[in-house]
Structure 1
Amino acid sequence: MQYEPGLSRDELIEFATKTYFGNVDAKNMDDTLDCFHDEALFCVQTDFTRHSGKAEIRRMFEDFFGAYEVIIHRDFVCTVDEAHGRITANFIAELKDSEGNVTLLNNTNFWRLRDGKFQEVYVYMSGANVLV
């Protein structure tokens, strides 16, 4: 199903890389969740993991935020389908736990937006799933 386009190419990139990942990296739970529709679907395709609805997505982020002292998403390469409100980004996720161990992942996310918020998120992760 296609949704009416609502954001420009630049707005889609800003939303995914700055608004969403900016809030994830800062561990701003409420602002992170504001990026999603109530019934959003979040799937980690490489681990067959699915989180459906904001309650499940919140629990996923609570665990993720608690597991890492530092979360950084960087080096984005985006492809945008402005006409259909979709964006894809390849990026590095740099995670540091409380013991100083660093995990580097080369991930790709596919987002489908509806009315300026994520309706569907599909994540392809290069290593072990950190979003369980």
Structure 2
Amino acid sequence: MDRDSCIAFIEHDYFGSVSAGDLDATMACFTEDARVVIRHGDQAVRRFAVQSTADAVPLEDFYRHLCGNYAAWFGDFWHVVDTAAARAASRFTVRLTPKTDGRYADAGEQTLLNCNFFEFDGAKIRDMIIYYANPGSAGLTPTGYPQG
């Protein structure tokens, strides 16, 4: 994929499908052997795979939970794309609005500053690391490190 195609895939095909709650289209973005790791602050690492394994939960379960409980908005993207290595990193803002009939209906909207690291096989995601910050961290200012 060239840079523009990669960005269009990330923003429109992948995140657009997640935002629309279209599980089939979301899962179509991944290779049959894709793996996903989620890192969230100091919580335990969560592992998913298109085909579940002893150490990875079915990936579709993650999206079913996300899309079943939240209306998700993704925006303010910033991408670094390495076309030769078929990799990309994307930083973006996420707004999760609980669905009225979902498990977290009373939780209130969350704003996250996320970063995803993608490895592609052709025009599909083979590996992805998702790092998401704690709710409300999107508004924090830099620490200023290192200092003079």
TM-score by length of 1: 0.86
For structure 2, the 5+ residue unaligned runs are 53-57, 136-148
Q: Which residue of 1 aligns with 2:61?
A: 59
Q: Which residue of 1 aligns with 2:5?
A: 11
TM-align CA RMSD:
1.4
Partners of 1:36 and 1:54 within 8 A in 2: no
Shift in Å, 1:45: 2.5
Give structure 1 regions of 4+ aligned residues with deviation exceeding 2 angstroms: none
Shift in Å, 1:39: 1.0
Partners of 1:37 and 1:54 within 8 A in 2: no
Structure having greater relative contact order (Cα 8 Å, sep ≥ 6): 1
For structure 1, the 5+ residue unaligned runs are 1-6
Q: Which residue of 1 aligns with 2:140?
A: none
Shift in Å, 1:54: 4.7
1:111 aligns with 2:118: yes
CA distance in 2, matches of 1:37, 1:89: 19
Q: Which residue of 2 aligns with 1:72?
A: 73
1:19-30 paired onto structure 2 within 5 Å: 19-30=13-24
3-state SS in 2 of match to 1:83: coil
Which structure shows the higher helix fraction? Answer: 1
- Equivalent residue pairs, number: 121
Shift in Å, 1:53: 2.1
Q: Which residue of 2 aligns with 1:3?
A: none
CA distance in 2, matches of 1:26, 1:53: 20
Shift in Å, 1:125: 0.6
Over 3 Å counting, the alpha-carbon distance change for 1:22 and 1:54 in structure 2 is farther
TM-score by length of 2: 0.77
* Rg larger for: 2
CA distance in 1, matches of 2:35, 2:11: 19
Give a deviation string over 1:16-49, Cα, whole Å, max 9, x none: 1111000000001100000001110010133411
